[in-house]
Amino acid sequence: MTRRLNWFLLALLLVVGLPFYWLMIDNRPGDAPVKPVSIAQLRQLASSVPGPAPSAVEMELVGWRRLPGSLFVAGSGIKRKLVGVMAWRLPVDGGKAVVIDSGLTRTDAEAMGMEVYYPQIQARIERALDEAGLVLVTHEHPDHQGALVARGGAPLLQAARLNPGQLPRAPLAATLPWPTGAAPTARLAPDGPQAVAPGVVVIPAPSHTPGSQMIYVRLSSGREFLFAGDIATFAQSWQQVRARSRLVGDHLAKEDRREVYSWLQTIAALSRQAPGLVILPGHDTEWIGDPEHRVPVRSGFTLGPV
């Protein structure tokens, strides 16, 4: 009886344990190299465009859901983590603000199973989009670019600077609800860091999606930020160099795992070069809001009267 039980347990381990390890825990980065991007290069580009740099970073949280942590940070445990959907506004003294990411439409919130959705906050984000001088998105998923596309309109799409992977003809971006006749052009190069406004540098980083990019911001005060998007879903992603689980990254929402690891290691390298660099993960609302971390981000957009 004992021998049979041992064989049964061994078979159970092989049938269940190994697939679980492979799909949810395995976190081997392989030979993914650090990218040739330095903080000195980003600072030089940020200062290459004349004019006032942004004065602050503001955040709006439009919705959230809870999911097992290991889905987004392989091997981090099955305890559920709060996955927030956020948009960002960078006010510019005497000028128009920069907006990063666009929130989430109600339709997409329902499709993604959001536990909480704030339509009044999404309305504020859309007002900020309309008033912005520059709109950037970290990548072409519905909870980052979808509301921008749904909002549509020539003036807004003109303010938005998109890369080739974020355009209607790109495979993943093509699934977004583009308005009829929308034909924006790529105003960002597909590779190499590039300055797009005073203090603002886009870093093309195809990995999580073909159109993924990170955004470096140096405020007028000298404070530095890196918007990592979903390359680093949570702070733990870059701090421990942990990609998404294979279940998510290889099957449910396919990404280039080797490139994700390469960019996670690059984020960690930039943090070592500039210890004061504030790295903002794509969905880690709790980490950003934890007073212990003292993340210098304002809660809520400072919009004027209607």
Phi and psi for 304 in degrees, rounded to 5?
-75, 180
Question: Which residues contact residue 239 at a Cβ distance below 8 angstroms, ignoring those fewer than 6 apart?
Answer: 268
> Can you give the pLDDT at residue 20?
77
Instruction: Give the whole-angstrom CA distance, residue 305 versus residue 4.
Output: 74
The token pair that represents 194 in the structure block:
């590039």
Longest dimension (CA), the chain: 80
Domain boundaries, the chain: 32-299
> Can you give the pLDDT at residue 152?
81
Q: pLDDT tens digits for 129-149? A: 999 999 999 999 999 999 999
pTM: 0.94
Given the candidates 3.30.70.60, 3.40.50.261, 3.60.15.10, 3.30.1330.10, the CATH classification of the domain at 32-299 is 3.60.15.10
Q: pLDDT tens digits for 244-270? A: 999 999 989 999 999 999 999 999 999
What value does the mean pLDDT take over residues 280-304?
Answer: 94
Question: Which residues contact residue 246 at a Cβ distance below 8 angstroms, ignoring those fewer than 6 apart?
Answer: 22, 23, 24, 26, 74, 257
Q: pLDDT tens digits for 5-24? A: 555 545 555 555 777 787 88
> Can you give the pLDDT at residue 6?
57
Instruction: Give the whole-angstrom CA distance, residue 50 versus residue 96.
Output: 15
The token pair that represents 108 in the structure block:
């997409």
Q: pLDDT tens digits for 157-200? A: 778 999 999 999 999 999 999 988 777 889 999 999 999 999 99
Phi and psi for 43 in degrees, rounded to 5?
-65, -40
Averaged pLDDT score across all residues of the chain: 92
Q: Are 170 and 196 in contact (CB under 8 A)?
A: no
Which of these ranges, 109-123, 151-165, 198-212, has the smallest mean pLDDT? 151-165
